[in-house]
Structure formats: C-alpha cells, structure tokens
Chain A
Amino acid sequence: EPEVTQTPSHQVTQMGQEVILRCVPISNHLYFYWYRQILGQKVEFLVSFYNNEISEKSEIFDDQFSVERPDGSNFTLKIRSTKLEDSAMYFCASGGGGNTQYFGPGTRLTVL
C-alpha cells in the first residue's frame, strides 16, 4: 500500500540555522500539506499546496517558512532561521482529490 514518507525522522539544529524537511507524497496525489504538533498540543495546519502553489496557509506559516515541490516526487518545508518554539513534530500529508489526507510518520525537529 502506498505511503507518505518523510526524512529525516529526527533533526537537531541550532537556533538560527536553516532546516529543510523532506517528504515524498503518494505518487498520484495532487494536494500536499504540512502540519505540526508541538509536544502535548494539537496537530496544527501550516500550509497546503496544489498545482505548484500555496493554496492556503495559517498564521503560523510566516516569512520564515517556505514550501517547494522541486521535482515530481518531493515536497519540502524550509525553515530559514529556526527558533526554539519551532521545536515540534512536523507531518507531511497528501491527498488524491478525494477527501482523505494521508499522513507521513513525521520529522521530529529539535531546536537548541
């Protein structure tokens, strides 16, 4: 069964550094998403991406964040200058034009 994959599983970085989180969505899906879950809190929407552009973003998704689909398979989330409060589990999800979003296993980002 096709799955969403994410790399790395755990990323440790210093405050102020740039990080890129990578995702490979399910191959025939059209809609791509990033969510995050700060420890002990709700899963929060960050951004959705369709037809090579952002379709919606939350207030969390400020100028420090960007997304890209550099080729036909990868979907990346970049944080330009990480802050302590960016420490969270980041989930990528994809959807095929139906209504269900399928999530990857997540990348745990730790900002020191």
Chain B
Amino acid sequence: AQSVAQPEDQVNVAEGNPLTVKCTYSVSGNPYLFWYVQYPNRGLQFLLKYITGDNLVKGSYGFEAEFNKSQTSFHLKKPSALVSDSALYFCAVRPWGAAGNKLTFGGGTRVLVKP
C-alpha cells in the first residue's frame, strides 16, 4: 500500500525568505510524485510532478521540488516566498504504471507567509 507523510501541519515564513514544505512517501516500485495547492474555497491546483529523469523538477509560480530516492522524499521549495503563496499544500504519490492509478495524498501542510 502507498502512503505519504507531511510532517508539518503548518509552516510559517517571512515574505522573501526561502520556503520548504516536506514530504516523504512509501510506494511499491518507482513513484510518480505530485504537489498540489489548495486556496480557500478552491479545488486542488496542480503545481508540479516527478515522473523520471532529473531529480529537480520545476513547476508553476516559481516552485520546485527535489526527488530523493534514498530518503524517499519529495520536498517542495521556493527560493523567495510571497504572501500570495499562503495556502494548503498537498503531496501525493501513485505507483509507476497505468495512467489511471489513484493518487494517495498526504495530510497537507498549511503555509503562512507573513509580510
């Protein structure tokens, strides 16, 4: 069975400072990894994904994530956070294979960026 852990319920960061949101996963075989963001009263918005290749993937709004196979981690990063980045962030995993496989989500991390 696959699982995702996001160890921090909330991350507070000052605007302009680097932002990191942690994620570790467990899955059989190679993983497909995803980050989604949820703004208040909105759906889940896709940010970025790791499928294969370069361990550093870049996504929307200046976000990037680094895949670390040995640590089974996929931490989300942004070099300089904006107040508008305040939202709920979800990490998700699915096993390598059929495109229709379900996503398993972590519990989410609330990011609060203070001016």
Binding site for B on A (CB under 8 A): 4, 6, 30-31, 33, 35, 41-45, 48, 50, 55-56, 58, 91, 93, 95, 97-106
Contacts and interface: CB of A to CB of B under 8 A. Distances in A.
B103 A101 contact: yes
Contacts of A41: 107
Contacts of B42: 105-106
29 contacts: A6-B43, A30-B99, A31-B99, A35-B103, A41-B107, A42-B105, A42-B108, A43-B44, A43-B103, A43-B105, A44-B105, A45-B103, A48-B100, A55-B100, A56-B101, A58-B102, A91-B44, A98-B99, A99-B51, A99-B99, A100-B34, A100-B46, A101-B46, A101-B103, A103-B36, A103-B44, A103-B46, A104-B43, A105-B43
Interface of B: 32, 34, 36, 42-46, 49, 51, 90, 92, 94, 99-108
Contacts of B45: 103
A75 to B, nearest CB: 14
Contacts of A105: 42-43
Contacts, number: 61
Most buried by B among A44, A45, A58, A95: A45
Given A31-B99, A91-B43, A95-B99, A100 B104 contact: no
B102 A33 contact: yes
Contact of B32 (A6, A48, A99): A99
